[in-house]
């Protein structure tokens, strides 16, 4: 019931995201979902590793990748994970304003990351790497693009939450929502770490 | 929504918007049964074509479409939804829960399955169904002209998303929603095996999602993963497909194993022999199920080392499966066995499935596999495990749970006729196919030449298929003529588990008071050690229920619209479709929906009437 759950801040339990059965279900269900997502990205990584030498006449990894650009993107995304951690810490302290502020910071960093990724794809396209150029091109754009689509979805999701709950205060209903969104955000961050290693570092050094 | 408003909904609107696991379970059963009949019709058309050598009943192209759609329909649209129907209806009752963990997602999963299945079958009417086999190997599938394979890719993608959602839902339900005292090791075997099957769904379906995504991008947007000229590799599809496809076999068979475990224990009037061994055997089968996918690819040329590893891993699965078979036999041993139709299917399953298991070990022998590969021997093998295992399990479960689900008992005389005709028809159809395969008849061919010793066995096989059809029609007759058997439906079999403690029809809140579980086979324990009633774990209070919603239908419909946009590359349509789906998700996200409460008085009134 809404009136039951709009509890005053100081009466919220220490882990508001797991205080209700609904919250616990969401939390556990989301972990399972991330397990499935792991297989999803695992399949894409496997496909990429199988096809990354299939460059035919098009440009290959060492012709394209610049570590400075990718380093900036990595730093942006890692920082966004940190800001989302700050948001959760504020949630557990009952500081709703802090939660909102750090989540907005996370969204902004996510948007910045997406901007760099669009720039990156644009540049590769002009260097002759179209989606259909080679098996390497297709598998690269599919893997990194799927990750980018996840980032875009995460940004929209968190933005919707932030606007919907801009004035509500922390409740037992919205705490699990923010918490699962943060879990999702960490997950796409971890996937990026693997992309950084497997795609970019191996592409230049391996 | 208030309680009064929730009670006074129009019937059709009620079913479209329901989030009740029992109604969703019944809808899964109805949808699955429809596609089962459709897949059966496709099979009969194929068997008629193969009745005589060089017969011209259907064209070769039509035959390819029939065999593709028969396999795809039976696996994705019949067997799995039918099992999901039982899982939905029975699991919450067996663990003493009021509903599943995510009632909304449960409804979404059903509508995604239904719309995915319908989308797939629309292909028949718009220029031809998919024709590359249910495995859709590239480059045959990536080069296949027309739109059939596009329907395959998108139909399965939508249906598969529904399955994944359902799997996560069952996992969380079983972990978080068990009644007090229902520890994991007191769960009925059907719930346990559904739990492991859901785990397999969770980790297997994303590989299919990616496989289908790649095939879609290759067909519609010119990607080159599978195009060898562009550095692509066709084997990647086979790996992705079977990393999904092999666990899929266990996703189907494990819940069926669960049904047999319930049925055999109930009708032998004994506790299931070796309960904990059964649980661990199920877990081991689930784990090994992920380790053996490449045994479908022995002839691809992976080399002797890979072949040997996958051969040994495959044979290892025979061990936990054997443990199960012996536990079932020992459950029967010394029992007071009742030969009801449900139990006959369980008893018929034991030898039939063992035959399928033996040919499975033969196929796992990678050196011999070169001889069996792509022959009717393989067809015989997987029909023995899937019909002898899964379909027998579904029929057994139908007769066992029908009184609880629909409030009347199925006629036993007609049921036994149905069982014997189906059993004989099944063995008649598929036993001879072993020998057809060993004689060299390849699978998936539209015809064969006379005078090669294949004629009479193909004829016999077709006769068996007719017999199975007659049996299935008898089941439908049985369902319609049995409706008057409305007595003794709450606990007709002297049941052992919690679903039989509920009144029939089951009220929407399942349990007026959550039961307290004190032993494995909780109800049986209370019958023989207690006073025959479950102890309550909570006082009688208002019960919280979720509100119904139309959003799952809207979300699924949006994806179908988007799929048509993709298939015909009409981009505005795709955008509209996704906008509908994401719009519905947006509404769902911002609209807090806290459900309603059923007042104590209404529950008391139900109790007095029941």
Task: Report the residue from A35, A36, A134 with minimal CB separation from B231.
Answer: A134
Mean pLDDT, residues B151-162 taken together: 97
Task: Report the residue from A5, A138, A164 with minimal CB separation from B590.
Answer: A164
Task: Report the residue from B172, B204, B207 with minimal CB separation from A29.
Answer: B172
For B7-32, letters b (16+ CB in 10 Å) and e give: eeeeeeeeebbbbbbbbbbbbbbebb
Per-residue confidence (pLDDT) for residue B228, from 0 to 100:
94
Could you tell me if A164 and A181 are in contact, meaning their C-beta atoms sit under 8 angstroms apart? no
pLDDT of residue A8 exceeding 60? no
Per-residue confidence (pLDDT) for residue A15, from 0 to 100:
85
The CA–CA distances, whole Å, from B573 to A19, B50, B218, B331, B566 equal 43, 42, 20, 58, 8
Contact call for B230 and A43, based on CB within 8 A: no
Mean pLDDT, residues B481-504 taken together: 93
Mean pLDDT, residues B191-204 taken together: 97
Angle at B86 between CA B275 and CA B603, to 5 degrees: 100
pLDDT of residue B607 exceeding 90? no
CA pair distance A17, A35, nearest whole angstrom:
20
Contact call for A142 and B236, based on CB within 8 A: no
Give B549's DSSP letter: -
Per-residue confidence (pLDDT) for residue B476, from 0 to 100:
96
Name the residue ranges covered by the structural domains of chain A.
17-40+68-205
Please write the tens of the pLDDT for every residue from B404-441: 999 999 999 999 999 999 999 999 999 999 999 999 99
Contact call for A131 and B221, based on CB within 8 A: yes
Contact call for A35 and B202, based on CB within 8 A: yes
Contact call for A32 and B164, based on CB within 8 A: no
Q: What is the largest CA-CA distance in chain A?
A: 65
Size of interface A-B (CB pairs under 8 A): 123
Please write the tens of the pLDDT for every residue from A141-157: 999 999 999 999 999 99
- A34 to chain B, closest Cα gap in Å: 10
- A102 to chain B, closest Cα gap in Å: 21
Closest-approach residue (CA) in chain A for B211: A43
Assess if residue B387 is contained within a domain: yes
Per-residue confidence (pLDDT) for residue A43, from 0 to 100:
97
Per-residue confidence (pLDDT) for residue A206, from 0 to 100:
64
- Which residue, among B404, B506, B546, has the nearest Cα to B17 in the 3D structure? B546
Range of the domain at B395: 21-526
Per-residue confidence (pLDDT) for residue A11, from 0 to 100:
72
Contact call for B210 and A137, based on CB within 8 A: no
Percent of chain A with pLDDT over 70: 95
- A183 to chain B, closest Cα gap in Å: 17
With bands split at pLDDT 50, 70 and 90, how would you rate the model's confidence at B479? Answer: very high
Per-residue confidence (pLDDT) for residue B402, from 0 to 100:
97
Mean pLDDT, residues B190-200 taken together: 97
Closest-approach residue (CA) in chain A for B221: A132
Residue B332, number of CB atoms within 10 A of its CB: 19
Total domain count for chain B? 1
Contact call for B222 and A131, based on CB within 8 A: yes
DSSP A124-191: HHHTT--TTS-HHHHHHHHHHHHHHHHHHHHHHHHHHHHHHTTTT---TTHHHHHHHHHHHHHHHHHH
CA pair distance B576, B581, nearest whole angstrom:
9
- B210 to chain A, closest Cα gap in Å: 6
End-to-end CA distance of chain A: 57
Task: Report the residue from A37, A50, A135 with minimal CB separation from B224.
Answer: A135
Could you tell me if A3 and A90 are in contact, meaning their C-beta atoms sit under 8 angstroms apart? no
Closest-approach residue (CA) in chain A for B586: A160
Identify the CATH assignment for A17-40+68-205 out of 1.20.120.80, 3.40.50.150, 3.30.70.2190, 1.10.3210.10. 1.20.120.80
> Mean of the per-residue pLDDT values for chain B?
95
pLDDT of residue A190 exceeding 50? yes
Contact call for A132 and B222, based on CB within 8 A: yes
Per-residue confidence (pLDDT) for residue A14, from 0 to 100:
82
Q: What is the DSSP pairing of strand B596-598 with strand B543-545?
A: antiparallel
The CA–CA distances, whole Å, from A191 to A148, A156, A180, A183, B119 equal 11, 19, 17, 13, 33
Residue B535 β-bridge partners: B516
pLDDT of residue A35 exceeding 90? yes
The HSE-up count of residue B120 (CA atoms within 13 Å, CB side) is: 31
Task: Report the residue from A1, A131, A132 with minimal CB separation from B594.
Answer: A1
Contact call for B175 and A28, based on CB within 8 A: yes
The 3-state secondary structure of B141-203, one letter per residue: HHHCCCCHHHHHHHHHHHHHHHHHHHHHHHHHHHHHCCCCCCCHHHCCHHHHHHHHHHHHHHH
Tell the burial category of B605 from Cβ atoms under 10 Å away from its Cβ (0-12, 13-18, 19+). exposed
Per-residue confidence (pLDDT) for residue A13, from 0 to 100:
84
CA pair distance A123, A111, nearest whole angstrom:
18
Percent of chain A with pLDDT over 90: 84
Please write the tens of the pLDDT for every residue from B359-388: 999 999 999 999 999 999 999 999 999 999
CA pair distance B309, B480, nearest whole angstrom:
51
Structural tokens at position B419:
């069982």
pLDDT of residue B302 exceeding 50? yes
Give B384's DSSP letter: H
DSSP H helical segments within B177-302, as ranges? 189-221, 235-268, 275-288
Which CATH number do you get for residue B154?
A: 1.20.210.10
């Amino acid at each position: 019931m809404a009136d039951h759950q709009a509890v005053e801040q100081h009466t919220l339990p220490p882990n508001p995201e797991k205080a209700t059965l609904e919250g616990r279900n969401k939390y556990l269900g989301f972990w399972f979902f991330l397990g499935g997502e792991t297989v999803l990205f695992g399949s894409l990584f496997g496909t990429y590793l199988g096809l990354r030498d299939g460059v035919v006449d098009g440009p290959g990894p060492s012709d394209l990748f610049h570590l400075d650009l990718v380093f900036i993107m990595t730093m942006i995304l890692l920082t966004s994970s940190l800001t989302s951690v700050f948001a959760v810490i504020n949630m557990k302290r009952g500081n709703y304003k802090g939660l909102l502020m750090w989540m907005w910071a996370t969204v902004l960093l996510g948007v910045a990351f997406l901007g760099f990724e669009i720039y990156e794809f644009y540049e590769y396209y002009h260097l002759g790497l179209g989606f259909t150029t080679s098996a390497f091109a297709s598998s690269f754009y599919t893997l990194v693009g799927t990750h980018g689509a996840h980032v875009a979805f995460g940004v929209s999701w968190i933005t919707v939450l932030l606007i919907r709950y801009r004035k509500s205060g922390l409740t037992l209903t919205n705490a699990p929502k923010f918490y699962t969104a943060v879990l999702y955000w960490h997950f796409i961050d971890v996937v990026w770490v693997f992309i950084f290693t497997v795609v970019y570092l191996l592409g230049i050094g391996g | 929504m208030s309680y009064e408003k929730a009670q006074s909904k129009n019937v059709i609107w009620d079913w479209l918007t329901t989030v009740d696991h029992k109604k969703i379970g019944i809808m899964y059963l109805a949808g699955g049964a429809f596609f089962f009949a459709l897949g059966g019709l496709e099979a009969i058309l194929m068997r008629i074509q193969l009745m005589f050598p060089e017969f011209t009943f259907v064209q070769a192209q039509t035959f390819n479409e029939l065999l593709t759609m028969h396999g795809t329909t039976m696996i994705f649209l019949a067997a799995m939804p039918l099992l999901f129907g039982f899982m939905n209806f029975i699991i919450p009752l067996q663990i003493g829960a009021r509903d599943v963990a995510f009632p909304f997602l449960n409804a979404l999963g059903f509508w995604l399955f239904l719309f995915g299945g319908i989308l797939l079958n629309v292909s028949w009417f718009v220029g031809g169904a998919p024709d590359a086999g249910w495995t859709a190997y590239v480059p045959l599938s990536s080069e296949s002209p027309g739109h059939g394979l596009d329907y395959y890719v998108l139909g399965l993608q939508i249906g598969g998303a529904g399955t994944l959602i359902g799997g996560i839902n069952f996992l969380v339900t079983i972990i978080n929603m068990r009644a007090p005292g229902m520890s994991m090791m007191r769960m009925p075997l059907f719930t346990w095996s559904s739990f492991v099957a859901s785990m397999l769904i969770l980790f297997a379906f994303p590989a299919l999602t990616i496989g289908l995504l790649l095939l879609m991008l290759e067909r519609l947007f010119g990607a080159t993963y599978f195009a060898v000229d562009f550095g692509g590799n066709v084997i990647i599809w086979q790996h992705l497909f079977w990393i999904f496809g092999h666990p899929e076999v266990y996703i189907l068979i494990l819940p069926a194993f669960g049904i047999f475990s319930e049925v055999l224990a109930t009708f032998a009037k004994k506790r299931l022999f070796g309960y904990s061994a059964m649980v661990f055997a199920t877990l081991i089968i689930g784990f090994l199920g992920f380790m053996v996918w490449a045994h479908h690819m022995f002839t691809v040329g992976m080399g002797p080392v890979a072949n040997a590893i996958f051969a040994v891993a495959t044979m290892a699965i025979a061990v936990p499966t054997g443990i199960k078979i012996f536990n079932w036999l020992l459950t029967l041993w010394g029992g007071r066995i009742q030969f009801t139709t449900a139990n006959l299917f369980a008893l018929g399953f034991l030898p039939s499935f063992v035959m399928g298991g033996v040919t499975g070990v033969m196929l796992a022998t990678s050196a011999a596999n070169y001889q069996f590969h792509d022959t009717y021997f393989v067809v015989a093998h997987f029909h023995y495990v899937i019909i002898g295992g899964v379909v027998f399990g579904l029929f057994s479960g139908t007769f066992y749970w029908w009184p609880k689900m629909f409030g009347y008992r199925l006629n036993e005389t007609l049921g036994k006729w149905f069982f014997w005709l189906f059993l004989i028809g099944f063995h008649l159809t598929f036993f001879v196919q072993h020998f057809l395969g060993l004689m060299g008849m390849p699978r998936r061919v539209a015809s064969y030449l006379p005078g090669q010793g294949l004629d009479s066995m193909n004829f016999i096989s077709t006769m068996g298929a007719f017999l199975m059809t007659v049996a299935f029609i008898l089941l439908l007759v049985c369902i319609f003529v049995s409706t008057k058997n409305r007595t003794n439906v709450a606990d007709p079999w002297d049941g052992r588990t919690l679903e039989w403690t509920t009144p029939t029809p089951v009220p929407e809140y399942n349990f007026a008071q959550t039961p307290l579980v004190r032993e494995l086979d909780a109800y049986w324990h209370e019958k023989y050690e207690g006073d025959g009633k479950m102890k309550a774990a909570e006082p009688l209070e208002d019960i919280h229920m979720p509100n119904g919603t139309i959003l799952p239908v809207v979300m699924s419909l949006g994806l179908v619209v988007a799929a048509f946009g993709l298939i015909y590359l009409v981009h505005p349509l795709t955008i509209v479709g996704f906008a509908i789906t994401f719009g519905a998700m947006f509404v769902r996200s911002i609209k807090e929906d806290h459900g309603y409460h059923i007042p104590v008085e209404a529950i008391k009134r139900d109790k007095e009437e029941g």
